[in-house]
Amino acid sequence: GKTNVISLVLDQTDKVPEFARRLIVGISDVMRGTPYHLVVTPQSRTDDPMDPVRYILNTRAADGVIITHVRPDDERIEVLRQSGLPFVAHGRSLTGAEHAYHDFDNRAFCEMAANRLISRGRKRLALLSPPSEFSYYQETLAGLAATAKAAGVPFQVLSGIDLDSSSEVLRQAGMALRHQDYVPDGIICGSELCAMALIDGMIQSGLNVGRDIDVIAKETSDLLNFTRPRIDSLREDLIVAGQQLATHLLDVIEGRDTASLQSLSQPVPVWRNEG
């Protein structure tokens, strides 16, 4: 029978709370006025990502599922497709499997960020990348690689750290940056919180952000409007993402073809610096 429950399977890392809050606000906006209510099913990064999905399927705990942090060959997607349980993903698997999704165009984010840095005269780019196990790592890297190659500028992925690294680890990495063999003068970072930690370390090491080096971040809040030095960013609206995910899922439950329930949001530039 129907449960009138929608389950949001959420990764539990220390970087997730603001991501989760905005996503939940968007989902709740759409669920309001429907028979459905939202239940969050936690997923630990150290556990098998299939565990929450198996639980939902075995207990029939929900009429639909929203999954996040999609991997290139995501077993959850294949199992959910075969089960017939309606689902939608925040992100895309790279296997070509047909499924409903809403995603952020991370390739465009990196292309726009790299072009912005190059237009400001930056000649040695670097990326603070997502964890390599997720699909958006490949999209991000592809965007930077294509843009850097077209412009004839080198780039590197910052080694030993990623967007899941703790703020203290990122601060230490920022302090060590100027002493590396490859010292970038433009960094792309997929999180404003990570960018702030990295910048704090850079400043402590004596780098002048805005003169010696530029940082461009993906932002999901207005936090960067109230920090100094001001940095450029590209915005992802997670409330809209939540609304899209919920709308797609309700359509899947109603039997609509999943091929028509695939959407991609574009980065919105927030340039705070001249030039």
CATH of the domain at 50: 3.40.50.2300
Query: Helices in 84-160 by DSSP H: which ranges?
Result: 106-119, 135-151
- Distance (Å, whole) CA 220 – CA 163: 14
Ramachandran region of residue 69, left (φ > 0), alpha (ψ -120 to 50) or beta? left
Contacts of 95 (CB under 8 A, 6+ apart): 72, 73, 74, 77, 78
- Domain shared by 128 and 209, yes or no: yes
Q: Does residue 227 fall inside a structural domain?
A: yes
- Domain shared by 116 and 98, yes or no: no
- Bridge partners of 213, per DSSP, are 209
Pairing relation of β-strands 214-219 and 155-157? unpaired
Percent of the chain topping pLDDT 70: 98
φ and ψ at residue 24, rounded to 5 degrees: -65, -40
- Domain shared by 153 and 61, yes or no: no
Indicate the pTM of the whole model. Answer: 0.94
Question: Which among 166, 233, 234 has a CA at the least distance from the CA of 200?
Answer: 166
At 78-107, the pLDDT tens digits run 999 999 999 999 999 988 789 999 999 999
Total domains present in the chain: 2
Alpha-carbon torsion, ordered 130, 135, 140, 141, to 10 deg: 90
Instruction: Tell me the residue range of the domain where 10 lies.
Output: 5-104+237-266
At 48-59, the pLDDT tens digits run 999 999 999 999
pLDDT at 36 over 90: yes
- Domain shared by 227 and 244, yes or no: no
For the record, the structure tokens of 17 come out as 């709370």
- Domain shared by 135 and 223, yes or no: yes
- Domain shared by 134 and 224, yes or no: yes
- Domain shared by 141 and 226, yes or no: yes
- Domain shared by 120 and 215, yes or no: yes
Q: Does residue 275 fall inside a structural domain?
A: no
Chain position carrying tokens 């028979």: 35
- Domain shared by 124 and 225, yes or no: yes
